[in-house]
């Protein structure tokens, strides 16, 4: 069975100032998400799962339905701050969903194979999708997950700070530890991140997660148990988010699975800020001129 591709597209785009998931980036009006889907299908993925909010479903359908209909199988899953599978829990009222691991939980009912997870507004590169498709078809199991790691210096925005999962990789090429770091930016030619204890240095060649994960459906069982605990632990913090690196790191340390790291040297492109848009548009124009993508894409 072909692997599924889960696309995290429920974000509100507060820093970007709009729905970057559907914003036109390619020369014929393509969104970044379309290039990811194109690469995924070429690499051998099957069903595409869009994880969105119900409030943006009409925008999504207006942008993509005519392009995608009949070309591949796709499903929608909806992530809200109360999605439905948490009914047995008393969920604190909040204005935003619970983060990326919570988003994965929202798609369980439409997932029928090992699956990859990506962000809607990140460009990952052709090689990464081929690596991940091969892994999910041949190596993925209840005890073996995967991720594509990127070199930190290739993933920064020139227009503000970013969040990344900072990775430690062991001698076997497996993930030893991942920590979500926020407010990462270059300061005086050094990469730093900020936390409650101040500023911390990060080497340029640090391997980071760009939320390109490969999972076996067995992950859902762990997430459901862990999310209930997370809600109780963070009851007094309405901005807490159940990020993917948290359960992944815990499962590794508990010996529940190994996670293979497939490194990519490709440059990441994304639109965290409006000021990023012309840079990314120029990058896609260059990729098209090199023959990586047709224009128009579909």
In the chain, domain spans: 4-289
| Separation CA 31–CA 26 (nearest Å) | 6
* Confidence band of 80 (pLDDT split at 50, 70, 90): confident
Position with higher pLDDT, 248 vs 82: 248
What's the residue count for the chain? 298
Residue 180, pLDDT score: 82
Task: Tell whether the model's pLDDT for residue 91 goes beyond 70.
Answer: no
Q: How far is CA 247 from CA 80, 206, 211, 242, in A?
A: 20, 21, 13, 8
For a pLDDT cut of 70, what percent of the chain falls above it?
92
Residue 17, pLDDT score: 43
Rounded mean pLDDT, 169-185: 93
Residues with Cβ within 8 Å of residue 199, at least 6 apart in sequence: 187, 192, 193
Position with higher pLDDT, 255 vs 268: 255
- pTM listed for this prediction: 0.90
* Confidence band of 15 (pLDDT split at 50, 70, 90): very low
**SS3 at position 214:** strand
**SS3 at position 157:** coil
Rounded mean pLDDT, 5-21: 70
Q: Which residue has the tokens 């990469």?
A: 191
Residues with Cβ within 8 Å of residue 49, at least 6 apart in sequence: 4, 5, 6, 7, 74, 75, 76, 77, 107, 110, 111, 115
CATH code given to domain 4-289: 3.90.550.10
Task: Tell whether the model's pLDDT for residue 277 goes beyond 70.
Answer: yes
CA proximity to 253, closest of 182, 180, 181, 178: 178
């Amino acid at each position: 069975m072909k692997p599924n591709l889960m696309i995290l597209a429920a974000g509100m785009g507060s820093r970007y100032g709009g729905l970057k998931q559907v914003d036109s980036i390619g020369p014929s009006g393509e969104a970044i998400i379309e290039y990811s889907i194109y690469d995924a299908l070429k690499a051998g993925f099957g069903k595409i799962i869009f994880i969105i909010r119900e409030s943006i479903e009409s925008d999504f359908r207006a942008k993509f339905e005519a392009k995608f209909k009949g070309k591949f199988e796709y499903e929608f899953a909806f992530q809200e701050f109360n999605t439905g599978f948490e009914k047995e829990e008393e969920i604190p009222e909040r204005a935003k969903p619970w983060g990326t691991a919570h988003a994965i939980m929202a798609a369980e009912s439409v997932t029928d194979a090992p699956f990859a997870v990506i962000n809607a507004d990140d460009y990952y590169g052709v090689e990464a999708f081929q690596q991940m498709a091969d892994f999910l078809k041949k190596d993925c199991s209840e005890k073996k997950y995967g991720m594509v790691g990127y070199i930190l210096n290739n993933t920064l925005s020139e227009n503000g700070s970013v969040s990344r999962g900072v990775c430690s990789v062991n001698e076997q090429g497996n993930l030893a530890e991942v920590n979500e770091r926020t407010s990462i930016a270059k300061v005086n030619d050094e990469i730093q991140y900020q936390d409650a204890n101040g500023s911390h240095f990060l080497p340029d060649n640090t391997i980071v997660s760009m939320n390109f994960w490969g999972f076996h459906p067995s992950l859902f069982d762990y997430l459901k148990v862990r999310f209930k605990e997370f809600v109780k632990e963070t009851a007094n913090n309405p901005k807490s988010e159940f990020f993917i690196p948290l359960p992944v790191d815990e499962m590794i340390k508990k010996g529940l699975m190994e996670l293979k790291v497939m490194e990519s040297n490709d440059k990441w492109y994304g639109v965290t800020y409006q000021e990023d848009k012309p840079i990314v548009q120029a990058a896609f124009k260059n990729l098209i001129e090199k023959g990586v993508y047709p224009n128009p894409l579909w």
